[in-house]
Structure 1
Amino acid sequence: MRTIFALALAGVVPAAWAQTPASNPMPDGSSDMYVGLGAVSAPRYQGSGEHRVTALPLVQVQWSNGIFISGMSAGLHLSSNPVLEYGPMVAVLARRSSGGSHDTLGGPFGSLDLSGTQNKPATPAGGTPSRPSVAPPPLEEKAAPTWQRSGNRLAGTETIGARLQAGVFVNYYLTPSLRLTNNLLAGSGRDRHGASWTVGVQHVTRALAPHNSVSLAADLTMVNRSYNESYFGVSLRDTMYSGNMPYAPGGGVRDVAVSARWNLALSPGWMVSSAVRAARLQGDARRSPLVERANNITVSTGLAYRF
């Protein structure tokens, strides 16, 4: 029986970062379910220099008919070949507000105080006060753009709603413990025309020590222009309210990443799952004025019970 536990990052990171659960042959009508609670320290958004810690659910369910739910994604295993896995999948990409991904604390765009950006000198351009008998008031310093005042480059940018993406996965086992993974998803971004393709390699070690297993992975994600324009671009509208320079990125490699996961079985029913992922933005995504840090690290841990 092959089982790869996936921690549900519940919208903090893109769903494609989670590994698709391996096909798990089981008796007809049966299921394999993990449910628990974890915590994750992740960048506020892709390219953010600020991390936040969030409590999140851990969910993975597989049924004997091939249907699975893994965090914020779900799919269907169609292959009966033990070395090839493929099928359709859907995944939720979380809402990104001006405060970050899945942000519930950042105020909506309409609540931002932008009046300071319209301040003008009290003296006409010619240098003569409009009322000579009254000393002109001191010149007010023009307010800094919102992101400079708040330390958040997303401040003032347009919110991108949560998106339901649809696509396919194709995985191939080179050995029983080494598999190539592919996830292709479409439907993200402001206009829902964004698409991403994540290709990677994963190694699963089963007998590192009694009750312990470690999996290692490396992946590369490519995106189209619409994706990059939505999540890394700066429109004229965003420039007006955020202070960032206009930026229109093209498609290409978004990031490369390596990750490791450690599972500790406390009993037949209880498991502790911990993971770390280090990613580096590439190409037009890395050059975006919204990016504060090209290197991002996500750390998570959680306790789950197997039903």
Structure 2
Amino acid sequence: MLLPDAARAQQAAPDDAAHGMVAIGAGVVPDYDGASDVRPVPFALADIRWRGVSFEIRGLRARVDLASDARLAIGPVIGPRMSRKDVDGPVGLLPEIDMAVEAGGYVGYRFGGDEFGQGSVQMEVSLLHDISGTYDGLVATANASYAAIRRPDMMLSLDVQTSWANRDYTRTYFGVTSADAAVSGLAAYRPGSGFRDVGAGLTAGYWFDRHFGVIGRAGATYLVGDAADSPITDDGSRWQPTAGLALSYRF
């Protein structure tokens, strides 16, 4: 998603002093991959620039932008993927899945836009690998964001995305072995790699004064391919909504 460039909006802090924006609040995400229910999670956003490097938080993931070019973004990413535990119904009879830790990198580029970035389009691709041993797989995501409104006191951005996952991921989160089928009553299922979902979202923010404001986010993805055909998804939903609301502070 596109967030306001707090440093540019403030037009005050020199580059060798830390400056930017942080927002902390609460949100909801699917209870597990393919679930119809949601669970509460912390919701955080941040863009902090110090000595030419940007430290960023996007939901549950943290990343660093190492590029000195204002339009180019590139760097490492790390964050968790939620666990599947204490689930009701047939899916709850499947083996529990621990929280995974994913790490990798991303690259993005921003096209067009005025001095605040309004009217710009940002294209981005990320590749994450499980480093915790939970599913030992890969997930790649491509997204595009459009900054419809981007002013010092207000922002509104729209985004679309799609993700691809290898079979290690899909078999962990959407597969059902023969033994698990006998226990849960779900049909045995052995998915392969392929596109996981398509989705869209909206992020809006408003600042009451120079420092304080509020940021909200709402979006959803729609499972496709082998993830959508899984009996786990049939028991839940192909629609995977997310939402969050946070108080923000610029400095």
TM-score (norm 1): 0.69
Percent identity among equivalent residues?
A: 25
Matched residue of 1:155: which SS? helix
Larger Rg: 1
CA contact (8 A) 2:32 2:82 kept: no
Distance in 2 (alpha carbons) for counterparts of 1:218 and 1:294: 17
Question: 1:279 pairs with 204, 221, 226, which one?
Answer: 221
Pick closer, same or farther for the CA change 1:224–1:26 going to 2, 3 Å: farther
CA deviation vs aligned residue, 1:105-141 (integer Å, no higher than 9, x gap): xxxxxxxxxxxxxxxxxxxxxxxxxxxxxxxxxxxxx
Distance in 1 (alpha carbons) for counterparts of 2:213 and 2:194: 38
Structure 1 stretches of at least 4 aligned residues deviating more than 3 Å after TM superposition: 21-26, 188-192
CA contact (8 A) 1:37 1:56 kept: yes
CA contact (8 A) 2:6 2:250 kept: no
Pick closer, same or farther for the CA change 1:207–1:36 going to 2, 3 Å: closer
Aligned to 1:137: none
CA contact (8 A) 1:35 1:58 kept: yes
Aligned to 2:3: 4
Distance in 1 (alpha carbons) for counterparts of 2:60 and 2:7: 18
* Structural mapping, 1:20-99, within 5 Å: 27-38=15-26, 40-52=27-39, 54=40, 56-65=42-51, 66-70=53-57, 71-99=59-87
Larger RCO (CA under 8 A, 6+ residues apart): 2
Question: 1:168 pairs with 105, 129, 132, which one?
Answer: 105
CA shift at 1:67, angstroms?
Answer: 4.5
Pick closer, same or farther for the CA change 1:212–1:168 going to 2, 3 Å: same
CA contact (8 A) 1:94 1:162 kept: yes
Question: 2:92 pairs with 155, 159, 173, which one?
Answer: 155
Distance in 2 (alpha carbons) for counterparts of 1:236 and 1:193: 21
Pair 1:246-2:188 in alignment = yes
Pick closer, same or farther for the CA change 1:55–1:162 going to 2, 3 Å: closer
Distance in 1 (alpha carbons) for counterparts of 2:172 and 2:7: 34
CA contact (8 A) 1:189 1:231 kept: no
Whichever residue aligns with residue 51 of structure 1, its letter is V
CA contact (8 A) 2:124 2:143 kept: yes
Distance in 1 (alpha carbons) for counterparts of 2:63 and 2:228: 31
Aligned to 1:180: 123
CA deviation vs aligned residue, 1:185-218 (integer Å, no higher than 9, x gap): 011786542111110110113357x832100000
Whichever residue aligns with residue 217 of structure 1, its letter is D
